[in-house]
Structures are given as C-alpha cells and as structure tokens.
Amino acid sequence: MKEKPLTNLRLPDLWKEFNSNFNESFWEEFEQKMKLMKKKFIELALQEEITALTGAQKYERTPERVYRRNGYWKRYIILKDGKLQINMPRLRETGFQSKIIPRYIRRQSQIDEILKQIFIYGASTRLTAKALKPLIGEVSAQTISNIAKSLDEDVKKFHRREINEKYMYLFLDAIVLKIKTGIGSKSRAVLAAYGVTVQGIRQIIDFRVVDTESENKWTGFLQNLQTRGLTDDTLSLIVTDGSKALENAVDNVFPLVLRQRCWAHKMRNVANYLRKKDEKECLFEAKKIYSAENLKEAKRNFQLWESKWGRLYPKAAECIRKNWEQLTAFYKTPKALWKKLRTTNIIERAFREVRRRTRTISCFNNVESIERIVFAVISHLNEKWRNTPIYEFTQSY
C-alpha cells in the first residue's frame, strides 16, 4: 500500500498548556444544557396544548378552529436548578390558562425526573404519558412522541452537517452499550471519529450507533464522513485499535494515509500469550520498544526483547513483528506528538465521560436514547475544546 507523504505543518508556538478541573466544569455545563432542554420541552408541550385547544396547527385554517394564536409573553418559572424564562402562548379571543405551568411549579421535582427519562433514558411514550397524567392531566402518547422527535432534530443535524475543518490526525475507536430488545438486552457499538485539526483543536467529528463493529459498518461510517467533507488533503496519520474490520475499512476509504496501530491494545494482545508469572516483567521490557528515542533504537530494543522472550513466547513476538510498520508509524511524525499518537488513549478519555454518564443505566430502551446521551456528552466536549488547542499539537517540529 502506497503511503501518502506526511504534511509538514509548523504550528505557531502561541499556546500554553490548558489546565482546568474537568469534573466540576463538565457537570456545571451539562446541567446548563439540561436546563435548556427542559425549556425546549416545556415550550413544545405548551404548543401541543394550545394546538389541542384551537383545533389547528399554527397558521392552519380549518372550519373547526375556535381560537387564534396571538404571539407570546415572557414568564419565569422556578426549577430546582434555577429560574427559567418560558415563552407562553397567547390567544386572541380568550385567555390561555395552561395546565402545564401551574402544576409544574408545584411539583417540579417530579417533572424534572420525567424530563430526564425523556431526554436521556428514552422512556416509552406510553409510560411517559402515564407518568405525566397526575401532573398535567391527560396527554397522549402521540403528543409525547412528537415532542421527543423534535428534540432529536439536533442529533440529526449533527450527523448531517458539513465537515469544513481540516484535520491532520484521526483517531478511530468504538464503545459498546446495551439496548433492550424483544428477546433481552443486546450490545450496540458506538463508532466514533476523533480528529485533531491543523490548529491543534480536538473534536469528536461524529459517531454512529450500529449493531455490530463490522468492516461494512466502519466503511459506511467513514464514507459518510468523506462525503460530508472529511478529506485526506491534510490528513497525516490515522490511529486505530488494530481490529481487522476497522483496518480493512480504512484501507477502503483512506488507503493512502499513514496508519498507526495502538500500542496499548497491542500490549493487551501480547499479554494473552504470556504466563502470569512473566507478564509484568515481559511487558515492562516491551515498553522500551515504543519509548525509544528513534526508530533505529526501537528496532534494536525489539531485537533484544525478542531474543529474551521470543523463544519462550514465539506467538507474543510474532504479534508485534507482523504489525511492525504500523506500530512504528508514529516515529515519522514530530517528536512532540509521539506519546499522543502511538495509542488511542486520547479518544478513550472521551469515551470515559460517556461511561460516567451512563454508569447508572444498565440498558437503554432504544437507539434514540443512546444517540441522545452520546450527543449530549459529545456536544459538551466539543464546545469545551473549541478554543483550547492541545499543547503538544502546537509544537510541530
């Protein structure tokens, strides 16, 4: 396979390493996003309520129509996470007394929990309507479904948007979550693409929920990104976990881009061939291969390691030897980036936040609920990173 030459871009040394308390800021900003989602839900519910009262959609003219809309007025309601401004609909011929807002104020903690189910856990429309009944009266499953669909539009827009950024480095990996089916829980893979731009800005470019992490699924995911604008014009390196399905998919879509296999995954593979008593020492010495000062030293360290351990564990040695070119591709990149580019750890840290947020959810109700929460976490991370380059990626020498 012919490799595309590395794009040598020298980035200005204008940025200092950014340090912040991620845990605190993450939850503060996530709560703000949840607050905005509550606002959207309440306003959509009010629209459904006024549509039922007037007998017509906005701007729709029907013989059965009794009242006409007359704009909005601002109203503040108090939630447990702060004050929220709501656009309250008005009617021309009569006053509009909403069933939702007064009861919402009195029982806001119960509504908060129901909203969380709708936004995050994906509660069924029937169960959600039943839960809302004592709070706001009769509400149809179709009404709840309409509201949920409108909330999911943001997710769809994210998946369809054009990709205009120019990326130098691309990390590909997947996380597995559980979903309920008619015959029990099943695993679903969330494929993800994490990119670092030529300015050193990191982004989770997109994700896709699939039934299996196959070559076809990965190929379809990458082709979609390519169609939307992810090109190899500036792409210098693609880092993968080493799965055969993913490797083949990258060959199909980006065959000319240099490839790096993750050393963390490779070391776990090597460990599978070792006896427990030798594992710690053998893996410790193997680290000298990828922590070498240059490729020549890495080859020498591998030969020394193989001469000691290869006779005892020939399959372990072969595990490294057969992928040598892709395991050492990072040596062709600027030295300041080696630690970042020799593993997929950079995307694993983003997955850690998804796992943290889903820890209490043993099983999702549907794919939409998975999409909703993954999108919420990713949107937060992308916004947080938007003006904060990774220091090492600004040190391209």
Per-residue pLDDT reduced to its tens digit, 31-42: 676 777 778 778
Residue 105 structural domain? 36-151
Total number of domains in the chain = 1
Asked whether residue 310 is domain-assigned, the answer is: no
**Where does the pLDDT of residue 388 fall: very low under 50, low under 70, confident under 90, or very high at 90 and above?**
confident
Q: Is the pLDDT of residue 318 over 50?
A: yes
What's the first-to-final CA gap in the chain, in angstroms?
27
Higher per-residue pLDDT: 264 or 103: 264
Q: Is 85 a domain residue?
A: yes
Rounded to the nearest 5°, which phi and psi values hold at 186? -135, 155
Q: For residue 81, is it within any domain? A: yes
Residue 239 lies inside a defined structural domain of this protein: no
Say what the pLDDT of residue 19 is.
Answer: 38
Q: How confident is residue 248, by pLDDT bands cut at 50, 70 and 90?
A: very high
Mean pLDDT value across residues 323-335: 96
Q: What are phi and psi of 239, to 5 degrees?
A: -105, 130
Concatenate the DSSP letters of all residues of 146-191 into one string.
HHHHHHTHHHHHHHHS-----EEEEEEEEEEEEEEETTEEEEEEEE
65: left (phi over 0), alpha (psi -120 to 50) or beta: beta
For 166-196, how does the pLDDT look when each residue is reduced to its tens digit (9 = 90+)?
Answer: 999 999 999 999 888 888 889 999 999 999 9
